[in-house]
Homo-oligomer: A and B are copies of this chain.
Amino acid sequence: MCKSTDPKRALFAELAAVARALGHEHRVELLEHLAQGERSVEALARLTGLSMANASQHLQQLRRAGLLDARRDGKFVLYRLADDGIVQLMSVLRQTAERNIATVGALLARYFDGRDGLEPIGRADLVERAQAGLVTVIDVRPREEFDLGHVPGAVSIPLEELDARLEELDPAAEIVAYCRGAYCLLAVEAVVRLRAKGFSARRMEDGMPEWRAAGLPVVAG
């Protein structure tokens, strides 16, 4: 039979340990933020609404599971994903959840279909049409995140500034908005507002982390 049951068991235990690290709402949220780039504990605590001590503990748990790396920069400790493959792991987890959990489907239907009728545009299509000059790509995340890395050629228009900067956009071109990922609602909101103003707008599938994970070029600064 499978000769040594010990190492098999140990492997199962390791897999379970990694899975358990993903097995908490707050840690999933932390990873979602960290998929954007490295962040300090304080920034993550603020973004998630967790106490510093609590955020720190969850981050250390993720680090112990091998999902995060930490480095010190001055008085801050910056965490980041240990590996770009972790985005893929989150993505597959999300797909599984979407397929299997009725409530997820319902949530998505409620918050996407009703607000954003059109299918999102795929990354490959987007690259093609952007090169042909057919689309204007806008990045609706906060400028801080834009600076850390964005789609080449994209214009930074944080959602708060969108209404004030409509005149910058070409009404003849199709506008494609993107933000942090499949479940970030920034881009959905942007599309809804743009359509209300008569623009032809769609959102890009997923968001920055998946773009990066797909090996597509990223511009920083």
Which residues of A56-104 are within 8 A (CB) of B? 65-67, 82-83, 85-86, 88-90, 92-97, 99-104
CB of A134 within 8 A of chain B?
no
Distance, CA A86 to CA B99, complexed state (A)? 10
Main DSSP-derived SS at the A contact region: helix
Asked if A65 and B32 sit within 8 Å, CB to CB, the answer is no
Asked if B10 and A103 sit within 8 Å, CB to CB, the answer is yes
Which residues of A5-30 are within 8 A (CB) of B? 7-29
Copies of this polypeptide in the complex? 2
Note all chain B residues with C-beta closer than 8 A to A4: 111, 185
If A97-B18, A185-B8 touch, does A23 touch B25 (CB 8 Å cutoff)? no
Asked if A16 and B10 sit within 8 Å, CB to CB, the answer is no
> Hey, which bits of chain A sit against chain B, CB under 8 A?
1-4, 7-29, 32, 65-67, 82-83, 85-86, 88-90, 92-97, 99-104, 107, 110-111, 159, 183-186, 189
Top 7 A-B pairs, shortest CB-CB distance: A66-B100, A20-B23, A19-B22, A19-B23, A23-B23, A12-B28, A13-B25
A-B contact pairs, 16 of them (CB 8 A): A4-B111, A8-B183, A8-B185, A11-B104, A12-B26, A14-B103, A15-B28, A16-B27, A18-B100, A19-B28, A19-B93, A23-B23, A66-B102, A85-B95, A85-B99, A92-B92
